[in-house]
């Protein structure tokens, strides 16, 4: 039986739990070589041992580590064919009570981290002259909002715009860039 991702190298940012962990498992089932990032070493190493995927410890709020996650996977596996940006923060905050610190935390993980990971992955694909895929996990709330998730919706709406812009900019490079506007998801978060 042919597997959809056979002979593909997939990096899932935010893959140690939640939606990202589900994506790691699905990509492995489809035959991919999978690496994933996470901030917590113990959790990441445990999930790597359970699944056979490669764990890359990274704090994606640091642009150097977001780019570095791509570089580490290329060093370990020779290339990346697909990047999935699934890391996210959903802490509550309204327009009236969100602090600058909470707003900045949302932008750092929900928008800036995918930007710099995409920058490294797309540059790698362009340099290789190879087709590839980027999938950004966005949110259906970016289309209508959630009053108690103001900084989250603001950052994810930015990611939606970035996804559209990057898809347009790199279509002739054979880099497919899409966003999934998922809704509330039951996930085990450690």
- Rg (C-alpha) for the chain, rounded Å, is 16
pLDDT at 2 over 70: no
Give the mean pLDDT of 5-18.
94
**What phi, psi does 146 have (nearest 5°)?**
-145, 115
The yes-or-no answer on residue 152 being catalytic is: yes
pLDDT at 79 over 90: yes
Q: How far apart are the first and last CA of the chain?
A: 35
Does residue 116 form part of some domain?
yes
Domain limits for position 56: 9-180
Total structural domains in the chain? 1
Does residue 149 form part of some domain?
yes
Q: Which of 47, 55, 115, 152 is catalytic?
A: 152
pLDDT: is 52 or 180 the higher one? 52
Does residue 185 form part of some domain?
no
What CATH code is carried by the domain that includes residue 42? Answer: 3.40.50.720
The pLDDT value recorded for residue 43 is 95
Question: pLDDT tens digits for 148-185?
Answer: 889 989 999 999 999 999 999 999 999 999 998 876 66
Structure tokens at 150: 């103001």
Give the Cα separation of 120 and 156 in Å (integer): 20
Mean pLDDT, the chain, whole residue set: 93
Going by C-alpha positions, the residue among 139, 164, 160, 161 that lies closest to residue 149 is: 139
């Amino acid at each position: 039986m042919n597997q959809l991702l056979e002979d593909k190298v997939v990096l899932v940012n935010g893959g140690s739990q939640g939606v990202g962990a589900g994506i790691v498992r699905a990509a492995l089932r489809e035959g991919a070589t999978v690496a994933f990032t996470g901030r917590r070493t113990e959790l990441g190493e445990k999930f790597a041992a359970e699944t056979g995927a490669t764990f890359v410890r990274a704090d994606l709020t640091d642009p150097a580590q977001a780019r570095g996650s791509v570089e580490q996977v290329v060093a370990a596996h020779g290339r990346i064919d697909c990047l999935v940006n699934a890391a996210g923060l959903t802490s509550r905050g309204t327009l009236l009570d969100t602090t600058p610190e909470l707003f900045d935390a949302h932008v750092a993980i929900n928008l800036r981290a995918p930007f710099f990971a995409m920058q490294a992955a797309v540059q790698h694909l362009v340099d290789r002259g190879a087709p590839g895929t980027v999938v950004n996990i966005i949110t259906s709330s970016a289309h209508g909002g959630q009053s108690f998730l103001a900084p989250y919706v603001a950052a994810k709406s930015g990611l939606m715009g970035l996804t559209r812009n990057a898809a347009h900019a790199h279509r002739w490079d054979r880099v497919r860039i899409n966003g999934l506007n998922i809704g509330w998801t039951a996930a085990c978060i450690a």
